[in-house]
Chain A
Amino acid sequence: MLQIRIHGRGGQGVVTAAEMLSIAAFEQGRFAQAFPSFGSERTGAPVVAFCRIDDKPIRLREPILAPDVLIVQDPTLLHQVDVFQGLEPDGYVLINSKRSFAELGLADISARFREERLLCVPATEIALRHLGRPMPNAVLLGGFAALSGLVTLEAVAKAIRVKFKGKVAEANVAAATEAHDAVAAMLAAVPQTAGA
């Protein structure tokens, strides 16, 4: 079972991101479960959402304590929430930022985990270009598809079109595609180390 935890702030579409990821997995014939952390969600407050993906029906209802994947929609959370809590040693991390892990002060994280699985992508900037709004959620899913290969960009696009309609859907698909290609280019530029 693959467990994904998404951190962000109220208003950034954190819960919608987890829901879209579950739809993308469903589109690929897998079982998926997405759920929010059920806080009293307010604009700007830290929000967590979860997604599980498996090849059999998912019965487990506990929050995700040991994620295989972390998506951080807002880098200012790094100073407020222990987002890396419980992350599996070979886990993936995708952070919405123009800066690198080192520039974000996360050198110790780079040392503790598999560096080739830790990436930053400027999702807010990409979203602003395509949507005119700083909504990083769908954008990061495109990046995640490229980083992990665990869902396809096509499935992510399909999920976006389930949750959004018309121009908003197409702008999100374009933004997710740009993030996907940007991450793919970053991965191609870095020599891949052998599995840990």
Chain B
Amino acid sequence: MLKQTEGSHAVAEAVALCRPDVICAYPISPQTHIVEGLGEMVKSGDLAPCEFLNVESEFAAMSVAIGSSATGARTYTATASQGLLFMAEAVYNASGLGLPIVMTVANRAIGAPINIWNDHSDSMSQRDCGWLQLFAETNQEALDLHIQAFKLAEELSMPVMVCMDGFILTHAYEQVDIPDQADVDAFLPPYAPRQVLDPAEPVSIGAMVGPEAFMEVRYLAHAKQLSALDRIPEIAAEFEARFGRKSGGLVRGYRTEDAETIVVALGSVIGTIKDVVDAMRDEGVRIGVLGLQSFRPFPLAAVRAALEGAKRVVVLEKSFCVGLGGVVSTDVRLALSGLRLDGYTVVAGLGGRAIPKASLRRIFGEAIAGTLSPLSFLDLDFGIVQRQLAREAATRRSGPIAENLLRDVGAIAARVS
């Protein structure tokens, strides 16, 4: 059914259609509307049987998710930013134990300085934790990916994060097609766990493993992620056959076939980039964009196949590895090993900085002209950076950086964006 609704609400409806047995969550912006929506559905009886647990922290949320999943319950939670960091230890346990929890990450920056706005620092901080990470370009895709994520997680017995841009998607009203319950039931079979805590048939889950088998347990997690490289496109194809639309998969190119310049990106900014690509194509520039729908597993072969014909690749990412540069670009470069093409990393949109079409167009133009540095920062205000560096050079007690910069920027209330 077509509906104009908030991204968070669309995701709540999708999760409900997956018939979760247990939902546990702790509120944190910009994820809160999702679990609020689910809480209302459980309370009203629209989502039943389902147990909704309010917990006292994100650490508890993931711990409850581990416990409930281990009893064979289909389990869902959601978080963002510092919440994901706070649950980090349990996040590793969920994947290490092979429990197919599905979690939405409403992508948000990590402090300090405290910042509630969107970037990808939170889920990127957990890129090596063993969870699969899928990224949504639109609210429709976010909705669809949750349905696919339960199927993928339960088949592999591995947890899946569905990453969607905080505020930009979670708080955006746009049109979504909400599937019928019967179709979701046909697509997503009941959960058949590989391991269950059952008093009638006691087992232990979570044994200590020493050097004799630890590497093998870790390798098995890798093997499962590698098998996901096959299952993710197959599940996306099954989804398309049943629901009639393309969602998910490993990567998705837009006007990349004959492109000399290909931009690589994740999440909602792909939409803005497509508009820029169309405008530049109208002027005869051979440019396209490759969206990564799966970040873990990282689709090395698919990325290489999509990029190998290009002359240059611009990775535009909302994440930043301090002391090195890009996070996504490091993986993209691995995919391009041995190929001779120019690579650029553009860090953009940190802490919710707007990513306007005009800025993208300028930076893509610089990449094509060969004037772009290998690592650049979209719309970074170097004037403010220089002022702070000068302050630190001039006086030992230069004071807190964030407060100094806010004073330099001046009143922002008069700004529209």
Residues on A lying within 8 angstroms of B by beta carbon are: 5, 15, 18-19, 22-23, 25-27, 31-38, 40, 45-46, 48, 57-65, 80-83, 85-86
Q: Nearest Cβ distance between residue B30 and chain A, in whole angstroms? A: 8
Query: Residue B40 at the A interface, CB < 8 A?
Result: no
Query: Residue B356 at the A interface, CB < 8 A?
Result: yes
Cα of A15 to Cα of B167 in the assembled complex, Å: 12
Query: A82's closest neighbor in chain B, by CB?
Result: B414
**Contact of B174 with A59 in the complex, beta carbons under 8 Å:** no
Q: Nearest Cβ distance between residue B343 and chain A, in whole angstroms? A: 25
**Contact of B416 with A81 in the complex, beta carbons under 8 Å:** yes
**Contact of A60 with B271 in the complex, beta carbons under 8 Å:** yes
- The interface residues of chain B lying within 8 Å CB-to-CB of A83 are 416
Given A38-B117, A85-B416, A86-B416, are A60 and B272 neighbors across the interface (CB < 8 Å)? yes
Q: Which 5 A-B pairs have the closest CB atoms?
A: A59-B271, A26-B4, A63-B417, A34-B173, A35-B172
**Contact of B272 with A59 in the complex, beta carbons under 8 Å:** yes
**Contact of B171 with A31 in the complex, beta carbons under 8 Å:** no
Query: Residue B19 at the A interface, CB < 8 A?
Result: no
**Contact of A31 with B175 in the complex, beta carbons under 8 Å:** yes
**Contact of B171 with A32 in the complex, beta carbons under 8 Å:** no
**Contact of A80 with B413 in the complex, beta carbons under 8 Å:** yes
- The interface residues of chain A lying within 8 Å CB-to-CB of B354 are 62-63
Query: B139's closest neighbor in chain A, by CB?
Result: A33
Cα of A23 to Cα of B274 in the assembled complex, Å: 25
**What are 19 sample pairs from A and B whose C-beta atoms fall under 8 A apart?**
A19-B173, A22-B173, A23-B4, A23-B173, A31-B174, A33-B174, A35-B167, A35-B168, A58-B271, A59-B272, A59-B275, A61-B269, A61-B355, A64-B417, A65-B416, A65-B417, A80-B413, A80-B414, A81-B415
Cα of A62 to Cα of B118 in the assembled complex, Å: 13
Q: Nearest Cβ distance between residue A8 and chain B, in whole angstroms? A: 13
Q: Assuming A82-B416, A83-B416, what are 7 further A-B pairs, CB within 8 angstroms?
A: A22-B173, A34-B173, A35-B167, A46-B413, A57-B175, A62-B356, A80-B414
- The interface residues of chain B lying within 8 Å CB-to-CB of A19 are 6, 173
Query: Residue B57 at the A interface, CB < 8 A?
Result: no
Query: Residue B352 at the A interface, CB < 8 A?
Result: yes
- The interface residues of chain B lying within 8 Å CB-to-CB of A45 are 413
Query: Residue B268 at the A interface, CB < 8 A?
Result: yes
Identify which of B171, B172, B173, B271 gathers the most chain A CB atoms within 10 Å of its CB: B173
Query: Residue B116 at the A interface, CB < 8 A?
Result: yes
Query: B3's closest neighbor in chain A, by CB?
Result: A26
**Contact of A35 with B173 in the complex, beta carbons under 8 Å:** yes
Cα of A61 to Cα of B355 in the assembled complex, Å: 8
Q: Nearest Cβ distance between residue A54 and chain B, in whole angstroms? A: 11
- The interface residues of chain B lying within 8 Å CB-to-CB of A25 are 4
Identify which of A27, A62, A63, A82 gathers the most chain B CB atoms within 10 Å of its CB: A62
Query: Residue B357 at the A interface, CB < 8 A?
Result: yes
Query: A81's closest neighbor in chain B, by CB?
Result: B414
Identify which of A35, A59, A61 gathers the most chain B CB atoms within 10 Å of its CB: A61
Given A22-B173, A32-B175, A34-B173, are A61 and B168 neighbors across the interface (CB < 8 Å)? yes
- The interface residues of chain A lying within 8 Å CB-to-CB of B118 are 38
Q: Nearest Cβ distance between residue A71 and chain B, in whole angstroms? A: 13
Cα of A75 to Cα of B40 in the assembled complex, Å: 37
Cα of A145 to Cα of B175 in the assembled complex, Å: 21
Identify which of A22, A45, A64 gathers the most chain B CB atoms within 10 Å of its CB: A22
Query: A62's closest neighbor in chain B, by CB?
Result: B356
- The interface residues of chain B lying within 8 Å CB-to-CB of A46 are 413
Query: B118's closest neighbor in chain A, by CB?
Result: A38
- The interface residues of chain A lying within 8 Å CB-to-CB of B416 are 5, 37, 48, 63, 65, 81-83, 85-86
- The interface residues of chain A lying within 8 Å CB-to-CB of B275 are 59-60
User: Hey, what's the 0/1 contact readout for B326-354 against A, CB within 8 Å counting as 1?
Assistant: 00000000000000000000000000101
Given A32-B4, A33-B173, A62-B354, are A38 and B167 neighbors across the interface (CB < 8 Å)? yes
**Contact of A62 with B175 in the complex, beta carbons under 8 Å:** no
Query: A52's closest neighbor in chain B, by CB?
Result: B174
**Contact of A61 with B413 in the complex, beta carbons under 8 Å:** no
Q: Nearest Cβ distance between residue A61 and chain B, in whole angstroms? A: 5
Q: Nearest Cβ distance between residue B417 and chain A, in whole angstroms? A: 4
- The interface residues of chain B lying within 8 Å CB-to-CB of A81 are 413-416
Q: Nearest Cβ distance between residue B9 and chain A, in whole angstroms? A: 11
**Contact of A26 with B175 in the complex, beta carbons under 8 Å:** yes
Cα of A59 to Cα of B269 in the assembled complex, Å: 9
**Contact of B174 with A62 in the complex, beta carbons under 8 Å:** no
Please report which residues of chain B, range 98-154, place their CB below 8 angstroms from some CB of chain A when the two chains form the complex: 116-118
Cα of A37 to Cα of B354 in the assembled complex, Å: 10
Cα of A182 to Cα of B357 in the assembled complex, Å: 39
Cα of A27 to Cα of B174 in the assembled complex, Å: 12
**Contact of A48 with B167 in the complex, beta carbons under 8 Å:** no
Given A62-B355, A62-B357, are A40 and B116 neighbors across the interface (CB < 8 Å)? yes
Cα of A70 to Cα of B4 in the assembled complex, Å: 22
Query: B267's closest neighbor in chain A, by CB?
Result: A61
Q: Among B116, B117, B172, B272, point to the contact of A34 (Cβ < 8 A).
A: B172
